[in-house]
Structure 1
Amino acid sequence: MASHTFTTSNPLRGRIRVPGDKSISHRALMFSSLAVGESTIEGLLEGEDVLATAAAMRQLGAQIERSNDGVWTVHGAGLGSLLEPHQALDMGNSGTSTRLLMGLLASHGFTATFVGDASLSGRPMNRVIEPLSQMGASFEASSGGTLPLMLRGAFAPVPIRYRLPVASAQVKSAVLLAGLNTPGITTVIEPVATRDHTERMLAGFGATLEIGEDNGERVISIHGESDLKSQHVVVPGDPSSAAFFMVAALIVPGSDLVIENVGLNATRAGLVEALRQMGGSIEELNPREVGGEPVADLRVKHSVLKGAEIDPAFAPSMIDEFPVLFVAAAVAEGATVTTGLEELRVKESDRLATMAAALTLAGADVEESDDGLTINGTGGDLLKGTPSGASVETKLDHRIAMAMAIAGLASQDGVSIDDTSPIATSFPTFTSLLDQASS
């Protein structure tokens, strides 16, 4: 375990570029592996989660190589031509890889076993197992629907019309990916719109999709057995990674930072709106579209933040950003109230309980409810920081670790974190970028 104390920072200035979007990186590797011909991917996030996807796609028959200039080349196996893996697919810590690949393989007539690390092996997969079973796949999971898990893909998959019981981009994507190799039309109905990277990128690769609305619900239909065409993919910067630097620049006095090439897909950009609602100065420079995804450079300046009641409708578009929003709230003027966040209790950790405990230890005034936190901010004063000899428990959760690192930048005594190693899973360059921006 690598413990570390993060302390008050110089202003964050200049320009930085965060790594590629993780959600888009996973999908770029998967869809390139299904396309016929050679695809290239620029800006791929090279964290352990995405590398787990690359390793799995290689086991399934794709040829994947990285050149010295950081461009990845993928020779696809072609839809329906994936090979049965000889060994278990090791998903590491990546819930996204697991759920999307379960969908992809559910309509291929062979058996695959999924394993993961201790954290991933505690995460339930039933939400994906249920619709994929309706399509003809069968599963043998560990108790509670967890990994290790064996999937027997359907030899004759059947298309379904599936209404998501809970908003989840991963479940939606799993069903759509299963539909790729299923004859007929597979339809997913979303009561609440979730991130739409799967739909955007599948359309870019040449899949036939129809997206419409019915009684205010989003209806996505995919036509099975259409060939995907190879592409050149440029991955935008990850808004979830940019989030930490946005909040850091807002709360460290004197900061004026440009974060380049940030993906601003409306299904992901809720944090920008929430921070603006709190009085944050976030300006979009050079807005453009890259590979079907909206992108801009964000100029973020230190701002006096005010507490706000965060609309629960924002939640799906910023579900991973709440830990760092809680940090912004801790130094704002007045109370910030969040509700509708039950989903945070089943992430890499119970993020409501873990963040409430972490911020309280660092000197914040936090009240926890069943579905959110109420945080009474310091009014711009520094947090006290963690007491001598005490450190925040991150529960092996990378976003908790990074959020509390940012809290340390606005603390008197620094914030000590029990284990920074999970940061490498999702954002290996996090601390070097922080140093670059504040040097």
Structure 2
Amino acid sequence: MTGRIRVPGDKSISHRSIMLGALAVGETRVSGLLEGEDVLATAAAMRAMGATIERQADGDWVVAGVGVGGLMQPAGALDMGNSGTSTRLLLGLVASHALTVCFTGDASLSKRPMGRVITPLSQVGAQFTTYPGGRLPLIITGTATPVPIRYRLPVASAQVKSAVLLAGLNTPGVTTVIEPVPTRDHSERMLRGFGAALSVDMDDNGARVISLSGQPELRPQTIVVPGDPSSAAFFVVAALIVPGSDLVLENVGLNPTRAALFDVLRQMGGQIDAINPREVGGEPVADLHVRASELHGITVDPAVVPAMVDEFPVLFVAAALAHGRTVTSGLDELRVKESDRISAMHAALTMAGATVTETADGLIIDGSGGKALAGSGEAAITTHLDHRIAMAMAVAGLASERGVTVDDTRPIATSFPLFERLLADLGAA
């Protein structure tokens, strides 16, 4: 794995740039937007509610917004595909508008519970009709008289935080979210960038207190989306575990609420250098120089989970090739992602020849000591329609004797359409 590559734009920032651009008055221009199925689902939904969103010939996207409070009743149901982020954030937006909207999704998304956003958004005044278990299909009836709320997050979730803040945009008064454990802060950064009055303070217990003044006039922006650290993670781990690798990943977002994986890999002995650090659109960015390394197992601090929750599948792969034991815990959130990622990765890595023990809230992995895994050969690993399981196991296949077969690579297009092509460009078979 040698050379220089550039991963697609950050998915979290891409979603939010489309949504907030659609609520600004005027034209927002976005370059580097991730053109995966999840972000395109967000764009289609905002179009259905009145915004004009077009891709330009140069690859930039232009969003002509309707203003805060200007969303219109869509003509039909909004199909979210596989995107939990689109669904939860858009529920927040709709909650404080007098609209009735039906949300649908694919088989995987329809298994994911929405109760954690339904609870605070009901306090705002929205009403919900859901499939049993608080799942999609779901109908939300927003309120014409939204109430500002003060909501303490019961679990660390950037999506719930963002849904409440987005509901607060069209709500008179001050909406407050109390966050005991910090999560990714793209929403706060971008809301400020668009001109919203948002403050972040600390309470006596060390929790973040985020306050948003409602009904601002958002100003259109020019946004450059940095490379997605969650996408970069797969190639960083690939370069660490494939002997002789020397790889540079350009323009990777290193927001501290997202980049904990790279710190954990460094603790394991990974050679990962951030070069040419800079700031783009309020987000820290650098190029990552990664070289093949002898990794050692560690006990991962549960406190870092919110800052790398999506990267654990590929961390498990790195741990499977390390010297010694890696212990992870506090990963309850992984059981309600696109799949139960704890059970799915336990089964997948075991099938590929790794030594893995599943616990209630994590995995214990005894590494191979740098020796290639056996691989699954032609026996297909079940990915449960989860893009991150598919990509993580593809990376595992790079460091295996017989290769790894995954049952379905189509879900990869939700977040990283160029994944297989980039792997091939770097010499993977």
User: What TM-score bracket applies, with the shorter chain setting the length?
Assistant: over 0.9
Q: Quote the residue 2:99 is aligned against.
A: 110
Number of the residue aligned with 1:226: 216
Q: Which residue of 2 is the match for residue 193 of structure 1?
A: 182
Tell me how far 1:390 sits from its aligned partner: 1.5
Compute the TM-score of the two structures, normalised by the length of structure 2.
Answer: 0.99
Percent identity for Structure 1 against Structure 2: 69
**1:286 counterpart (267, 270, 276):** 276
Q: 2:238 aligns with which of 232, 248, 259?
A: 248
Question: What is the CA-CA distance between 1:389 and the residue it aligns to?
Answer: 4.1
Post-superposition CA distance 1:6-52 (Å, at most 9, x none):
xxxxxx11110000000000000000000000110000000111000
Which of 126, 129, 134 lines up with 2:115 in the alignment?
Answer: 126
Following superposition of structure 1 onto structure 2, how do residues 149-298 of structure 1 map, counting pairs within 5 Å? Answer: 149-214=138-203, 215-298=205-288
Q: Distance in 1 between matches of 2:168 and 2:415?
A: 29
For 1:195, the aligned partner's letter is R
* 1:306 maps to 2:300: no
Q: Identify the residue that residue 5 of structure 1 maps to in structure 2.
A: none
Q: In the aligned structure 2, how far is the partner of 1:239 from the partner of 1:201?
A: 17
Find the partner of 1:318 among 301, 308, 319: 308
Higher-RCO chain (CA-CA 8 Å, sequence separation at least 6): 1
- Are 2:49 and 1:60 aligned? yes
C-alpha separation in 2, matches of 1:82 and 1:340: 39
User: In the TM superposition, what are the counterparts of 1:310-349 in structure 2 within 5 Å?
Assistant: 310-349=300-339
1:371 pairs with one of 349, 361, 368? 361
- Aligned to 2:380, the other structure's residue is in SS state coil
Structure 2 residue 86 is matched with structure 1 residue 97: yes
Matched, 1:70 2:35: no
What do residues 378-425 of structure 1 show as CA deviations (whole Å, max 9, x unaligned)? 000000111x54211111100000000000000001111111111122
Q: Is the 8 A contact 2:305 2:331 kept in 1?
A: yes
- 1:15 and 1:437 in contact (8 A); partners too: no
- What's the CA shift string for 1:335-373, capped at 9, x where partnerless? 000000011111000000000000000000000000000
- CA deviation digits over 1:277-308, x for unaligned, max 9? 00000000110111111000000000000001
- Segments of 5+ residues of structure 2 without an aligned counterpart are none
AA at the equivalent of 2:345: M
Letter in 1 for 2:129: E
Matched, 1:403 2:392: yes
SS of 2:365's equivalent?
strand
SS of alignment partner, residue 426 of structure 2: helix
**Partner AA of 1:317 in structure 2:** A
Secondary structure of the 1:93 match is: coil
Task: Please give the alpha-carbon distance, in whole angstroms, between the structure 2 residues aligned to 1:164 and 1:58.
Answer: 30
8 Å contact kept, 1:182–1:225: yes
- Distance in 1, Cα, partners of 2:386 & 2:43: 22
Matches of 1:207 and 1:132 in 2, distance apart? Answer: 20
Amino acid at match of 1:412: E
Letter in 2 for 1:304: E
CA displacement, residues 199-227 of structure 1 (integer Å, 9 cap, x when unaligned): 00000000000100002001000000111
Cα-to-partner distance string for 1:223-244 (whole Å, 9 max, x where unaligned): 0011100000000000000000
Residue in 2 that maps onto 1:8:
none
